[in-house]
Amino acid sequence: MTVLDKARLALLELIGRNSEHTLKSLSLALGKNDAYLQQYVKKGSPQNLREDVRERLSSILGVSADIFRSDGDNKRVDLDKVHTEAYTQERPARQISEISGRLVIPEYDVQAGAGPGTLIDHVASENGNIPVDQWQIPARFLEAFTDNIQSLAIIQVRGDSMEPDYHSGERVLVDLAHRTPTPPGVYVVWDGLGLVMKRLEVVFGSSDPIQVKISSINPAYDSYERPLDDLVISGRVVAKWMWK
């Protein structure tokens, strides 16, 4: 069995969307030992969650219990096909102008003094940090690129490791709700050494621990692997601005 099946990926995605939950805290909330869900995700034990466990998870996370059914179960539903209440209730809604229909998106300078405590999710103004700028973009335009328009931030690219696709000084739009490296793509991530913007892809077949390949677009930089547990993913890059 592939350990990272759809049910397990959905669980990791939901935890990534809600900073209040971890595999450990959810395990304890289920009345299990603190490593129960970690064993489920990483070692495939149990192979499938029991119905009572699925129901309890659905209540905690605000999603359908059918998300946690096994891949072969015909009653299973995909996470991207259902409304998830847990994340949408977590953050205050971003302001959308009633006149122009534009969404206000903050821009943060997250590279300055970057470390594991200065990731994008922790630099919001309510935590004492002030955005360096604010962008107003039509909400209907953004909806064509992401389902999570209430969880967007803008950052500036630093360095040349992602050239020619991303050049230093360019602004990119980051979906803060997307914190698991599926599907493969460009993410903002703390890799244990620094805050970087890299292409992430789960290494097929890895399970204990789950490994993630971290690569640059610029061939001058080598790719490397890190355990998923060692990464703190802030979000997925969903767009960039190009000036001609």
Residue pLDDT, tens place only, 155-204: 888 889 999 999 888 899 988 888 888 889 999 888 777 778 999 999 98
- What percent of the chain shows pLDDT beyond 70? 79
Indicate whether 228 and 117 sit together in one domain: yes
* Token pair recorded at residue 196: 């970087």
The answer on 135 and 68 residing in a single domain is: no
Strands lying side by side in the sheet with 211-215: 133-138, 102-107, 152-156, 171-175, 232-240, 185-190, 195-202, 211-215, 224-227
Q: Please give the single-letter amino acid code of residue 104.
A: V
Summarised one tens digit per residue, pLDDT across range 184-196 is 999 988 877 777 8
Residue 52 maps to a domain = yes
The radius of gyration computed from the CA coordinates of the chain, to the nearest angstrom, equals 19
Location of structure tokens 């995605």: 13
Give domain status of residue 97, yes or no.
Answer: no
Give yes or no for residue 90 having a pLDDT over 60.
Answer: no
pTM for the predicted model, two decimal places? 0.59
- What's the rounded mean pLDDT across residues 209-230? 91
The pLDDT mean for the chain works out to 78
Give the domain-ending residue among 38, 64, 88: 88
Domain housing 37: 6-88
Q: Given 53, 88, 123, which residue is the final one in a domain?
A: 88
User: In a 3-state reduction of DSSP, which class is residue 32?
Assistant: coil
- The arithmetic mean of pLDDT across residues 93-104, rounded, is 63
Whether the predicted pLDDT of 36 surpasses 50: yes
Sign of CA dihedral 205, 209, 210, 211: negative
